[in-house]
Amino acid sequence: MVVGIIVDQMRQEYLYRFQDKYDEDGFKRLMKQGYNFKNTHYNYVPTYTAPGHASVYTGTTPAYHGIIGNDWYDKTQGKEIYCASDQSVETVGSDSHRGKMSPRNMLTTTISDQLILSSQKRSKVIGISIKDRGAIFPAGHMGEAYWHDKSTGDFITSTYYRESLPKWVSDFNKQKRPDYYLSQTWEPLGSLENYIESGKDNVVFEAPLNKDTPDFPYHLEKGDYWMVTDTPFGNDLLTELALSALENTDLGTDDDTDLLAVSYSSTDYIGHRFGPNSKEVQDTYLRLDKNIAALLTALDEKLGKDNYLVFLTADHAIAEVPSYLVENNVPAGNFEVSQIDGLNAEISARFGDGKWVENISNHQVFLNHQTLKGKKIELKVMQEFVAQTVLKYNGVSSAYPAHVIGAIDFSGGGVTGMLVRGYNQKRSGDVLITLEPGWIIRRKTGSTHGSAYTYDAHVPLLWYGSGIQKGISYEYKTITQIAPTLSLMLDVMLPNGSTGQPLLELFDEK
């Protein structure tokens, strides 16, 4: 059995920054007894949740699998779409719209799909997460996915997968565990004075959860299920679902390899709200450490220590809060989107009145190609003009016309190489923008991610279990190497769009 764990928004440094306070059976067990790739990175932009999950399990980047963001502007429909949205399916497990989802926007297969294909559909694949996209893309096109409905507190799926919830999910929902957590108070596991690995508890650039100040304790309120997922209790809830899957299904009990994909989302919600230097983030990871330990213990008991394989990574990391950096004399800033709002006017001043810009999203400018044709303006000329124009905006580091990106070698390094690997010709925009290091799109509080810089791209990668020797590597690796490694370990075909190479250290017979 393979268990893939993705921790949403986990920096690689969290393994070491908080390790003195971790127990021995969670992260430390994976680090001390498994193989630790300390220099693992995302090799494309944008570094968001949906493309991150898709890239880990497809072994390729948005250029091929097509998941270029959590949302993106669809040039054929002329509107923004959600990465997993599918209006042809219905919700299973509630009456809300939150189940109208599927993996159909992902253009390639995953290691999950290849596992199922190789066994003539005998292998079982289950993806679970608080976020729909965190469950759907790892499960691939042929597995099953279950995610949390914040309107009801239940886990749901869609008719893409099945017409009714399996008994183990229905039984879990009947326990009403979110209601239990809403009666709890989020207090730190230990004394805040001992949380010396993080900053002050109450600072102006953190966003309060459900009161006026961003400091402990946080009393949850019944009926507001988002409060479960926006606290560490969301990770507790997902761990309980994972344990239920192990206990009440036949995962890992026959001759065909199965896969359980677990994606922890609450770390992302908390990190966005409070920032990576917060007491809340530290407490979240100390609690997650216990969740990982509980999952490993359950695997030991059901399958035996030598009968399962675990990998743990993240879908992206996070930038430091710019206000905090500026306060400490480090160059950083908040990019004012209003600068770009005047882009159409600047184009009109040069080329005449018209609707030149269709959409600006994901650090990309989508031009109106019909206007260009009507005005007989060459696309390359307009791309070049827009790129030079946005370079004047405060906080912009570089701007690349799409025709330039399309001509750069896919294997190239630096920011341009990451842009190429994140650029999908059918779905991406006409001009790609990068901000200066330390800069993010304007947020009054908290922080975000999405850039090509190491604070967003450097993530943990731990392997543990069957066939894994203890070891450590400091060589540069990419997350697109995970799926090819699994393919060769399991003797199945690589995902059909895979561009990564296997992690050879894991195959060293010595």
Read off the pTM.
0.97
Which residue, among 180, 172, 182, 183, has the nearest Cα to 148 in the 3D structure? 172
Q: Are residues 347 and 305 in the same domain?
A: no
51 domain residue, yes or no: yes
277 domain residue, yes or no: yes
Look up the CATH number of the domain holding residue 178.
3.40.720.10
Q: Give the integer Cα–Cα distance in Å for 201 and 3.
A: 35
Q: Are residues 199 and 342 in the same domain?
A: no
Helix axes 266-274, 279-303, angle to 10 degrees: 170
249 domain residue, yes or no: yes
What are the phi and psi torsion angles at 413 (to 5°)? -100, -175
* Positive/negative CA dihedral, 277, 279, 282, 288: negative
Q: Are residues 312 and 352 in the same domain?
A: no
Q: What is the CA radius of gyration of the chain?
A: 23
Instruction: Report the first-to-last Cα separation within the chain, whole angstroms.
Output: 24
Active site residues: 49
Q: Are residues 186 and 250 in the same domain?
A: yes
Which residue is it, tokens 């390639």?
108
**Beta carbons of 500 and 488 less than 8 angstroms apart:** no
Q: Are residues 385 and 492 in the same domain?
A: no
Q: Are residues 105 and 155 in the same domain?
A: yes
Domain count, the chain: 2
DSSP per residue, 340-402: HHTHHHHHHHHH-SS--EEEEETTEEEE-HHHHHHHT--HHHHHHHHHHHHTTSTTEEEEEEH
Residue 132 structural domain = 2-317+451-457+466-507
Torsion, Cα of 39, 42, 48, 49 (10° steps)? -70
Q: Are residues 253 and 163 in the same domain?
A: yes
Which residue is it, tokens 């990068």?
434
Taking 3-state DSSP, the helix, strand and coil percentages for the chain, each rounded to the nearest 5, stand at 35, 20, 45
CB atoms inside a 10 Å sphere around CB 381: 12
327 domain residue, yes or no: no
69 domain residue, yes or no: yes
Buried b (16+ CB within 10 A) or exposed e, 127-162: bbbbbbbbbbbbbbbbbbbbbbbbebbbbbbbbbbe
Instruction: Check whether the bond before 217 is cis (ω within 30° of 0).
Output: yes
**Beta carbons of 83 and 136 less than 8 angstroms apart:** no
**Beta carbons of 63 and 420 less than 8 angstroms apart:** yes
Residues ≥6 apart with Cβ < 8 Å to 453: 319, 437
pLDDT at 509: 59
- Residue by residue, pLDDT tens for the chain (510 residues) are 999 999 999 999 999 999 999 999 999 999 999 999 999 999 999 999 999 999 999 999 999 999 999 999 999 999 999 999 999 999 999 999 999 999 999 999 999 999 999 999 999 999 999 999 999 999 999 999 999 999 999 999 999 999 999 999 999 999 999 999 999 999 999 999 999 999 999 999 999 998 999 999 999 988 789 999 999 999 999 999 999 999 999 999 999 999 999 999 999 999 999 999 999 999 999 999 999 999 999 999 999 988 999 999 999 999 999 999 999 999 999 998 888 888 999 999 999 999 999 999 999 999 999 999 999 999 999 999 999 999 999 999 999 999 999 888 888 889 999 999 999 999 999 999 999 999 999 778 999 999 999 999 999 999 999 999 999 999 999 999 999 999 999 999 999 999 999 999 999 754
Q: Are residues 204 and 351 in the same domain?
A: no
What are the phi and psi torsion angles at 505 (to 5°)? -60, -30
Q: Are residues 350 and 497 in the same domain?
A: no
* Tokens, residue 433: 């923008």
In three-state form (DSSP H/G/I as H, E/B as E, the rest C), the secondary structure along 80-134 is EEECCECCCCCEECCCCCCCCECCCCCCCCCHHHHHHHHCCCCCCEEEEECCHHH
Q: Are residues 405 and 498 in the same domain?
A: no
331 domain residue, yes or no: no
Helix axes 49-58, 111-118, angle to 10 degrees: 40
* Tokens, residue 204: 């102006």
Look up the CATH number of the domain holding residue 404.
3.30.1360.150
204 domain residue, yes or no: yes
pLDDT at 412: 86
Q: How far is CA 243 from CA 196, 291, 298, in A?
A: 33, 10, 7
Q: Are residues 74 and 218 in the same domain?
A: yes
Q: Are residues 99 and 224 in the same domain?
A: yes
Q: Give the integer Cα–Cα distance in Å for 350 and 137.
A: 44
421 domain residue, yes or no: yes
Q: Give the integer Cα–Cα distance in Å for 214 and 203.
A: 7
* Positive/negative CA dihedral, 398, 401, 402, 404: negative
Q: How far is CA 61 from CA 58, 65, 349, 373, 421, in A?
A: 8, 6, 38, 32, 6
